[in-house]
Structure 1
């Protein structure tokens, strides 16, 4: 049981660090999309790149520790926990979101962004919604027939 608790603690720590980054990155994109100041644009390009590269290992470690937790509980537990299947699906959506941030970063780097600040404000809500659903799933562990 001690091993699972350590795995859960690391999983949550890396998840919090990952989410901090993917909450902040779209806010940088909002500022970038809404400015015409060349100096600010160059500063934002650097901030966006460094932030995404900084939080990417946290995403990988979050996934790795989550997988280790599932492995520790075992296959039978995994099959029985339907809420976990929904959580994993949402985590995969979040990993795709994270990957899409690399595409957006490239668009900004090449000055090819065509999206508005409003788009990025809405885009910023995706991980928030996923976080809420995942937390409810993990703590409430609903049963599905």
Structure 2
């Protein structure tokens, strides 16, 4: 099995990078949609339904599948012999950051359901601030993987 992982390593790595890019695009865009939804749309307006549809499709059709592929490919990479030095700090900082990114994804999913139920109680400012979370986590992940500190 370990030889198999080594044989497919570059393909899995490429898939992982593509999935991460797709996931990050959604993590950046969905909170921005929430900002406009919270600030400019009243419950029950036709635009409310339009935003709900855009948010739902972004989450279900792009973000969820790309998060799943990111995780599966990432775990395969971790299981590939000789790739990760677990005595270093970087795999742990990356792992914690990926868990944080996953938590943020789940938080966005809960917030989408609040909009759908007409129960959003957060202001656009809060979504603007939360929009910085994936950026900060991405910085930690990239520095961890590239610099291997």
TM-score relative to the length of structure 1:
0.91
What is the match of residue 36 of structure 1?
41
Indicate the residue corresponding to 1:130 in structure 2. Answer: 137
Structure-2 residue corresponding to 1:139: 146
Q: Which structure is higher in helix share? A: 1
Q: Does 1:72 align with 2:80?
A: yes
Match of 2:65 in 1: 57
Deviations 1:58-99 (A, max 9, x none): 001101111000101259x44223211110111011111111
Q: Secondary structure at the match of 1:128?
A: helix
Residue 88, structure 1, aligned to residue 98, structure 2: no
Q: What is the distance in 2 between the residues matched to 1:8 and 1:73? A: 14
Q: 2:127 aligned with 1:120, yes or no?
A: yes
Q: Which runs of 4+ in 1 moved over 6 A?
A: none
Cα offset, 1:132, TM superposition: 1.1
Q: Structure 2, unaligned stretches of length 5 or more? A: 1-5
SS of the aligned residue for 2:80 comes to: helix
CA distance in 2, matches of 1:9, 1:81: 24
TM-score, with structure 2 as normaliser: 0.89
Aligned residues: 141
Tell me how far 1:2 sits from its aligned partner: 4.9
Structure 1 unaligned regions, length at least 5: none
- Conserved 8 A contact 1:94-1:127: yes
Partner of 2:3: none
